Structure 1
Amino acid sequence: MLLNTPQCDFGWKAPDFTLKDASGREYSLSDNLGNKGLVVAFICNHCPYVQAIANRLADDMKELQAQGINVLAVMSNDYHLVPSDGPEYMQKFSSHFGFTFPYLVDEGQKVGKAFGAICTPDFFGFNKSGELQYRGRLDDARMDGSADRTKELVNAMVQISETGIGPTQQMASMGCSIKWR
């Protein structure tokens, strides 16, 4: 089912969380906030929308990381319902696309629910104070992988890292519904 995300709730502060990646290493929101902000991306392996952007996602996140903006990806789907989203497949997916950021398992789905995540992909961009300043899509490219695109998330996060404030015009993300338990 195709869903769109709600508009950005500017200034919302996400609750801190600690999640593990597929190999058991822990990461927390507070430890990764950073001086230039943080992107929290809700993704999963099986979603065709995530698969369509995975290469661009890897490239754009490398670009943000090179500018000092941190990135965490969270998988909140019930992987008992969708086994291809399980931790062992997360490692393969991350490696296949060259992710340079942690890809975390939200086993209890508490983080996805606390964020109000709607779909995969669903992107949240925070300033250095932990205030939400972006909720939208990665870019405006078509599903066919068109080379012409505006890097919505990259441009927003650069602005947020420089000013602390996100753009007022944001394009809602769209994708598959999160598979809740």
Structure 2
Amino acid sequence: MAQTPSNMTPLGTKAPDFLLPATNFNTNFNFSECKGNKGTLVIFMCNHCPFVLHVIEEIVMIANDYRVQGIGIVAISSNDIEKYPQDGPDKMADFTLTHKIDFPYLYDESQEVAKAYDAACTPDFFLFDNQDKLVYRGQLDDSRPANAIPISGSDLRNAIDAVIYNRKIVEPQKPSIGCNIKWK
């Protein structure tokens, strides 16, 4: 199991826009349609990655906990589906049903959006404030599939709380670790 870290995009970076098809809504979404009035969480993930599968329940809980508090949530899969057909749009739609994902799960066929965000791994988390500026890019928490640390979502939850309540985000931000994005 490869362990690729986030690229740690510079804080303050403006959220790149996109227009991508949602596999679970049968329509396209851009960044503005996904954003929340307090901030926006963009997650790069895929269906087969053991790191994503390890934390998907917590990701869904975070989405459910924070959307009602003004955080927009969107997930994007950018993997090459010729080499990894299990990450194709039809399987993504099934994945959303299986895991009760009701936020947009978008398919980035060209991989342009992943490149624009400088995404490197799955899961890779990008949290933007209400001005669409990057305030957090890092891990969910210290739990990994191969360690015994319980999943808490603490790092990401603390960052989201800071955005909602206008507090300073705790430093240092630790990179997410996961499978590398499967580039074409």
Taking structure 2 as the reference length, the TM-score comes to: 0.91
Q: Which residue of structure 2 lines up, in the alignment, with residue 47 of structure 1?
A: 49
**Structure 1 CA distance for aligned equivalents of residues 10 and 111 of structure 2:** 21
Identity across the alignment (%): 38
Structure 2 distance, partners of 1:165, 1:109, is 32
Corresponding letter in the other structure for 1:21:
A
The alpha carbon displacement at 1:21 in A equals: 0.9
Partner of 1:18: 19
> 1:178 — aligned with what?
181
**C-alpha RMSD of the superposition:** 1.8
Give distance in 1, aligned partners of 2:12 and 2:167. Answer: 10
Q: In the alignment, is residue 126 of structure 1 matched against residue 133 of structure 2?
A: no
Contact 1:39 1:124 in 2 (8 A): yes
CA contact 1:44–1:75 (8 Å) conserved in 2: yes
159-168 or 71-80: bigger deviation: 159-168
CA distance in 2, matches of 1:7, 1:110: 18
Gaps of 5+ in 2: none
Counterparts in 2 of 1:174 and 1:147: CA distance versus 1, 3 Å: closer
Distance in 2, matches of 1:94 and 1:141, equals: 23
Unpaired runs of at least 5, structure 1: none
Deviations 1:144-166 (A, max 9, x none): 67546352112101201222753
SS of corresponding position for 2:91: helix
Counterpart mapping for 1:11-160 below 5 A: 11-22=12-23, 23-143=25-145, 146-147=149-150, 149=152, 151-160=154-163
